[in-house]
Structure 1
Amino acid sequence: MIRRYSLAQLTTLELNPPAMISTAAETGYQACGIRLLPVKPGGVGYPLMDDPAMLRETLARMQDTGVQVADLEIIRLTETFKAQDYLRFFEVGQKLGATNILVAGNDADEARATASFAQLCEACRPFGLTADIEFMPWLPVDRLSSARRIVETAGQGNGGVLMDPLHFARSASTLDELAALPKSLIHYAQICDAPAGIPTNPEDLIYTARSARLPAGEGGIDLKGIFRQIPADTLISVEIPNDEQRARMSAQDWAKHCLDTARQLLDQVEPIR
């Protein structure tokens, strides 16, 4: 079984898209993710929609290296969401040959969030993109069951659920629920590890997610149990931001270490579907 791996933008957030492509190629990844929009106002993002020179350079690096762009970040389903606001996002995604959009559920009104998700799926489908909700325990869409419910109720063929082991382990989600998640809803999955235990406040949950994840096998998450439920042909996005460890390594060395540990662990896992 030969798995495919993608370097997530958050693992090496300081790298712009051309550098992401080059680093992924140099360290053994087949793909990478690009953060076109920041997670929060003032955060890091690389808006290729407004930078034609960097877009050209990114495409040239892809051609030179053979590395693909897998997922694009990040679209948030808020109470004011309008899919037409992201037309240039979709257009750039199509030019890059990207396949997935990482989506966060920020709207506490589930009916409205579901309608927004359906609208997003319809709008991005002509550009060859899926929309994949990443449930996060500090957001309204906080667990696997709520993400699945939104995707299935929206009823769009390009809708999916993105499984992040950190969020899975720290939310009210179970292996039985993951085993029951239809394969058709799993377009890609992330891998990381983290210390055992669950923080009791959102600030600590967010800090770990953005700054203190661990390479696979260095923490307490049941990664083997989780990835037995993930189809073998699923693209694996290696998302491991860690400010302390990262400060001691170059971007290339960190990216390679994260990939090596992910491979070492997943090589021991035989998916059951």
Structure 2
Amino acid sequence: MAHQFSLAHLSVLTTSPAEMVQIAAKTGYDFVSFRLTAVTTTEHVFALQNARALMNETKALLAATGVKVLDIELARMPAEIEPETYVPVLEAAAELGARHILAQLPDANRERATERFARLCDLALPYKLTVDLEYPSWTETPNLAAAAAVVRAVNRPNAGILVDTLHFDRARDSLEELRKLPAEWFHFAQVCDAPAEIPSTVEGLIHTARSERNFLGEGGIDVRSILDAMPAGIPYSLEIPTDTLALTVSAEERARRSIRAAEAYLDGLHGQRLKKSA
């Protein structure tokens, strides 16, 4: 099976979108996944929606290399942020030819969070974008069940769930429950490995997620089972920040190691699937 991979921005966070496209093309990725809004107050963000010259440069490189944009992040809606805030991001995503918008709902008011997610879906629909709900385990939407409740309640044709193998593992989600959910809810997955031991603090969970994930096959997450429970053929966004490695290894080389490890791991997964069906 030929897998399709995207280079996620968190893997090379200080690299510009234009540089990311060049790296993706050199190392064999089909897609890139851009972060156009900041998640923390300290991280640098390349806001293409506000940077016309960089937008034009990035689009030219996409056209020249054939690399596509898989998804744009992040429409994060805590209590103080309305979905309309992200209209410029939706416009930029459409201009780039992206397929999906990644969203988070760190809001304890579940009725408000659900209503805002529905509005974001409605805003994204004219741009032909799906809105895929991610559920970091330390947020107010902490697991697959909570994300599924939102998507089921909004009942929008472009609503989906983004499974990140790290968050799935840290939330102790159920493979059985994942298999039961509608296949059309899953448009792509974020994929990484990580140490088997789950940190006991929010700080520890966030540190692993944002700074020190593992390449596939180098950690203790049962990535194989998670992916086997999801629809076949969806693209995999390799979101694997490795801040310690970044001190000595270039962004291009880290991206290369990430995709080579994923190819080796998933070739083994495909072989196991063929055996099962024989």
Instruction: Tell me the TM-score normalized by structure 1.
Output: 0.97
Inter-partner Cα distance in structure 2 for 1:229 and 1:268: 16
Query: Does residue 1:74 correspond to 2:74, yes or no?
Result: yes
Q: Which amino acid aligns with 1:108?
A: A
The aligned residue for residue 27 of structure 1 is 27
Q: Which amino acid aligns with 2:81?
A: F
The 5 A counterparts of 1:107-256 are 107-256=107-256
The aligned residue for residue 258 of structure 2 is 258
Q: Which amino acid aligns with 2:183?
A: K
Q: Which amino acid aligns with 1:104?
A: Q
Q: Contact 2:77/2:83 (CA < 8 Å) preserved in 1?
A: no
Cα deviation for residue 249 of structure 1 reads 1.3
Percent identity at matched positions?
38
Inter-partner Cα distance in structure 1 for 2:33 and 2:103: 13
Q: Which amino acid aligns with 1:124?
A: A
Inter-partner Cα distance in structure 1 for 2:63 and 2:39: 28
Q: Contact 2:82/2:116 (CA < 8 Å) preserved in 1?
A: yes
Cα deviation for residue 104 of structure 1 reads 1.2
Deviation above 3 Å: which 4+ runs of structure 1? 270-273
Cα deviation for residue 42 of structure 1 reads 3.5
Q: Which amino acid aligns with 2:72?
A: L
- Unaligned 5+ segments in structure 1 are none
RMSD over aligned Cα atoms: 1.4
Inter-partner Cα distance in structure 2 for 1:115 and 1:172: 27
Q: Secondary structure at the match of 1:187?
A: coil
Cα deviation for residue 176 of structure 1 reads 0.8
- Residues 121-153 of structure 1 show CA distances to partners (whole Å, capped at 9, x for unaligned) of 000111111111111110000001100110110
Q: Which amino acid aligns with 1:7?
A: L
Q: Secondary structure at the match of 1:71?
A: strand
Inter-partner Cα distance in structure 2 for 1:71 and 1:88: 15
The aligned residue for residue 48 of structure 2 is 48
Q: Which amino acid aligns with 1:187?
A: H
Inter-partner Cα distance in structure 2 for 1:183 and 1:240: 25
Q: Secondary structure at the match of 1:194?
A: coil
Q: Secondary structure at the match of 2:268?
A: coil
- Unaligned 5+ segments in structure 2 are none
Cα deviation for residue 83 of structure 1 reads 2.3
Q: Contact 1:3/1:232 (CA < 8 Å) preserved in 2?
A: no
Inter-partner Cα distance in structure 1 for 2:142 and 2:85: 25
Q: Which amino acid aligns with 1:143?
A: N
Cα deviation for residue 21 of structure 1 reads 0.6
Q: Contact 2:104/2:133 (CA < 8 Å) preserved in 1?
A: yes
- Residues 181-222 of structure 1 show CA distances to partners (whole Å, capped at 9, x for unaligned) of 211100110110001111111000000001110000000000
Instruction: Tell me the TM-score normalized by structure 2.
Output: 0.95
Cα deviation for residue 248 of structure 1 reads 2.5
